[in-house]
Amino acid sequence: MIVERLHVTERMKIVGGLLLLMLMAVLGIVAKTPTLTRVDIRLDEHLVPIRDAVLTLGAKGATAVAQAEVGAVIAVVVPVGLWLLRRRRDALITACLMAGSLAVAFAVKILLAEHRPPQRLWVIPPDNEESFPSGHATVAAAVALLLFLLVRGRLRALVAILGVLFALGVGFARVYLGVHYPVDVVGGYLVAAGVSLVVVGIFDIPSIRRGLEDVGTPASGRHHARRASRTMAERH
């Protein structure tokens, strides 16, 4: 079996993504230390005096649109639409990036089992007992990255800025509502960034990219027909 030699760019993306995920794991371990927990609690407490009805309503709205369920819907519905538009590589990147980010965040939550901030800081009840990384921040960052990857042309810069603002807004909302520490939000961002680099690096491998570009084309059909003919001839 011939192993394809990865180009430098693909290798750098994959390695960079894995390093970000390792950094996230280390950050999660550090987050469980009493010293960082005390610092995080103080940071959460500093936001209590600025709470008001308008900010709280906005924070709740940001939380609602970045739930894990929303990420799951995006991971299924958007790829189907992209596939029908013959953007097959983008469809698979979308599915793998969002589903992969959710899976990594969920696994780390279970493994680290970092506790939530004290209940006295909660504005709303948390979705679960585990705090690190923030699932909402993970979804928001994954959405921002997908917008940057999927939108092309003149709108790309604007969409990228809006995506970053959305991710930052969701992260702030989770800390504002008292259900996450700041380090949880950073962990969520690292999950999405790490997974995105790994996924894009894999789908940038020339053979994979070419294979996806050829799917459904006449050339692809002829290639498979010739391959089937050779197989039948060898059997006879």
pLDDT tens-digit series, residues 116-160: 999 999 999 998 899 999 999 999 999 999 999 999 888 999 999
Backbone torsion region of residue 86, taken as left when φ is above 0, otherwise alpha when ψ lies between -120 and 50, otherwise beta: left
Helix-strand-coil split of the chain, %, nearest 5: 80, 0, 20
Coil, helix or strand at residue 115: strand
> What pLDDT sits at residue 211?
74
Q: 8-44+52-207 — its CATH code?
A: 1.20.144
- Provide the pLDDT confidence category of residue 10 given band limits of 50, 70 and 90: confident
More confident residue, 171 or 211: 171
pLDDT tens-digit series, residues 42-79: 999 999 999 999 999 999 999 999 999 999 999 999 99
Distance CA 42, CA 59 (A): 20
> What pLDDT sits at residue 219?
46
Instruction: Note whether 32 and 114 are within 8 A (CB).
Output: yes
Q: List the one residue out of 184, 147, 181, 151 whose CA is nearest residue 164.
A: 147
Token readout for 7 is 């180009």
Extents of the domains making up the chain:
8-44+52-207
